[in-house]
Chains A and B, each alone.
Chain A
Amino acid sequence: MTGAGTSVDCDVHAQVPNIGALLPYFDDYWREMIEVRGIEGFELVNYPPSSPLTCRPDWRGEDGTNGGDAAMAARHVLDERGVDIAIVNCLYGVQAIHDDYMAAAFAKAINDWLADKWLAQEPRFRASIVVPAQNPALAVAEIERRAGDPRFVQVLLLASGDLPLGRNVYWPIFEAAERHGLPIGIHAGSAYRNALTCNGWPSYHVEAYVDLTHALQGQVASLVTHGVFKKFPALKVVLVESGVSWLPAFLWRLSKFWHGVRIEAPWIDRPPAEIVREHFRLTLQPFDAPPSASIVQKVVEHVGSEDILLYASDYPHWHFDGDQTLPDGISELLRKKIYSANPLSTYRKIGEMS
């Protein structure tokens, strides 16, 4: 249906229905802790369960979850759209927990639950490895535990955690990801360690959502200026649910200041815009532009590369109505790349498996 070869939806969300669903995937200690301490589960405040953002009305599951189970998600994102493969990102509050070990136990439980209830149920699904980024050593251990499974194709991080991701405390995560051919997916969202804007905390949910691009911008700047791609030249980073259209102006600005003050980071030996176009990818949806084909066309031109946009529905988040996932204004040729060639060259494990 997409007419593009193996097509991939690079951002589909699985919601954990309740803490009970995860219990089988903990050891005895953590099962007891969850019960004794009355832990009801962890959902990120960025996506309040009933917000119109969090779920399109016709995508609410019969089980009360946003998006339903694997079968329902497969129907909507694969069957109805003629898409072949989808990458499941579970946004759970793992990254917001302050206890590193609890976060690690939850990350493991989420990944095992995903393997069991999503990947084993639907062979066309792939998943991202949820990791406790709070503690890079534990994050690496979780990557090692899952990287051998060909169905796990990415490492998932949140846009705002403790420190900017370029800092070398995080490099073991990138080392493991590069070694296993796993891109790093940085998903919009915050662990609320840092105020959502540098001017403090916004008043509204919609404001907080609009402001989520700031952390993504900060991560791009951080990864580039710290020289992460000099150290890990094969590493790819996918900005997931980023909004996309902020990228060109951001790159002009970053490149301009690099040009002006590059004496402080002499290891960056070419314009940041070039580094970003080589190493970063962005999922479509939401695509922050008005419904105007000519504007969309220009934004895509400003982005400056046909290789970096990846198809995504962001199911079940509500960014568009009806069946048209891609905005008007994208050429037929680019459309094919977005659906297939770009995802396949980003997620090499998908091609190796199929």
Chain B
Amino acid sequence: MTTDVRTPNRPSAAGSSTVARAAQERYKVIDSDLHPSARSLEDLKPFLSKRWWDHLQTYGYRSRQGLYQGQVYPKAAPFAHRRDAIPPEGGFGGSNLEFMRSQYLDACNIEVAIMSPLNFTGQGDDNHELSAALARAINEWQVECWTRLEPRLRASIVVPYEDTALSVEEIERWAEHPHFAQILLLTRTSEPLGRRRFWPIYEAAQKHGLPVGIHVFGASGHPTSPAGWPSYYMEDMTSHAAACQGMLASFALEGVFERFPGLKIINIEGGFAWLPAFEWRLDKHWERMRGEVPHLKRPPSEYLREGLRISTQPFEEPENPKHLIDIFEWIGYDRLLFATDYPHWDFDDPATTLPRQIGPERMQQILSGNARKLYRLG
């Protein structure tokens, strides 16, 4: 059975029409979510000390899920990849630069792609020192194995976010390196990301003018839904939107943007259609209980209006495509960043995903204009 999510009115990349292809050539694309992968842990060995290499060989990773090997919600395809994104030699999609160039960078007209490494990164591991060693290794690996070899790629500063001091150290190590475009966190943290313990990360981000990208997934130790642990992968996938909402409510209500007015955060791979209703709810109930959060000087959505950008993937598919336009209008076209999520199964093709009726100017804004400004790509 196919894992293709597309409805008949959304042709897939493989079958896209000449019209779509022609349209694609008109637009440059800045992808705010590309997933490169090491072929195996061996690839990181040059960037790890003997102490941590030996540790990993003996004890491995220990994130907050019950399995040493495997996923508690097995994916519907190996590694959640597009089946055609597995490189010719096998292994992980996104692990072969040459193949990535032909299948993705060239084919999708990518001007710049922001890499969000997820494999082997150790983010959220309960051993924070291991998490820090892996973050450093992944960051070096991004430069040595990717950005040095391919000018269209940009790196993310992966940080061991459960330990703030170690995270700031890692940010300081790379912040002025021109290949790094953002700091990378995951949504499923052990505490809501707006809490004070994380503020030094935002202080460093603001100081260096680096946006903070927050990608879905991670293992917080808490049930992925507050209704309790779901049983199925589709519930787990659906629940990412709630994780994003909880994270953003925390950012807004703790006053993070009041304290760091220059901070920009990016919600990555959580979809976007839920944002307006969430912001309405946030404002409505803040209005009633604002006495509890006197540190906020404005309605919480106003802080998010300025400080939050949101990536478009996995793209929303309302039954009536007109409803998408309402959502765009409510969010604001200047806050949306196009993302492909290559090489994952729910990949969005820049040539066919956005609705044409928003017009060429807004197409270009979402496909690259907003990202160019945010990541300062000149």
Contacts and interface: CB of A to CB of B under 8 A. Distances in A.
Interface in A261-300: 261-265, 273, 286, 288-290, 295, 298-299
B226 interface: yes
Interface stretch (A12-20, A31-39, A211-219, A229-237): A211-219
Contact of A160 (B227, B243, B289, B327): B227
Interface in B270-325: 271, 273-274, 277-278, 280-286, 288-293, 314, 316-320, 323
Interface in B110-136: none
A21 interface: no
Contacts of B230: 164, 218, 221-222, 225
Contacts of A260: 3-5, 76, 234, 345-346
A225 to B, nearest CB: 5
B215 to A, nearest CB: 13
Contacts of B63: none
Contacts of A215: 225-227
B187 A261 contact: no
A222 B235 contact: yes
B228 A163 contact: yes
B283 A290 contact: yes
B55 interface: no
Given A207-B253, A217-B238, A249-B277, A200 B285 contact: no
Given A164-B229, A207-B253, A52 B281 contact: no
A195 B222 contact: yes
B231 A225 contact: yes
A213 B242 contact: yes
B250 A257 contact: no
Interface in B231-258: 231-235, 237-239, 241-243, 245-247, 249-250, 253-254
B284 A200 contact: no
A165 interface: yes
Contact of B228 (A53, A162, A201): A162
B232 A264 contact: yes
Contacts, number: 268
A166 B288 CA distance: 33
Contacts of B76: 260-261, 263-264
Nearest to A256: B317
Query: Which interface residue of A243, A262, A302 has the most chain B CB atoms within 10 A?
Result: A302
Contacts of B346: 260
**Interface residue tally of chain B, by bracket?**
35 or more
Contacts of B9: none
Given A194-B222, A200-B222, A206 B292 contact: yes
Identify whether the interface residues of B are mostly helix, strand, loop, or mixed: loop
A214 B245 contact: yes
Contact of A198 (B1, B225, B232): B225
A246 interface: yes
A198 B243 contact: yes
A219 B227 contact: yes
A221 B239 contact: yes
A195 B226 contact: yes
B78 to A, nearest CB: 13
Contact of B234 (A210, A213, A248, A257): A257
B189 interface: yes
A166 B231 contact: yes
A199 interface: yes
A101 interface: no
**Interface residue tally of chain A, by bracket?**
35 or more
B281 to A, nearest CB: 4
Given A199-B187, A218-B226, A206 B293 contact: yes
Nearest to A167: B231
Nearest to A295: B330
A53 B242 contact: no
B193 A199 contact: yes
Contacts of A205: 289, 292
A196 B226 contact: yes
A318 B284 CA distance: 11
Interface in A127-174: 159-167
Contacts of A295: 330
A258 interface: yes
B191 interface: yes
Contact of B233 (A203, A261, A273, A298): A261
B220 interface: yes
B224 interface: yes
A195 B187 CA distance: 15
Given A209-B289, A264-B232, A301-B323, 19 more contacts: A53-B289, A160-B227, A164-B231, A165-B227, A194-B226, A197-B243, A199-B187, A199-B220, A202-B246, A204-B292, A214-B225, A218-B226, A218-B239, A225-B234, A248-B277, A248-B318, A249-B271, A249-B277, A252-B318
15 contacts: A164-B235, A198-B242, A201-B192, A204-B253, A211-B245, A218-B230, A225-B231, A245-B277, A248-B277, A252-B316, A252-B319, A261-B3, A288-B284, A302-B318, A302-B326
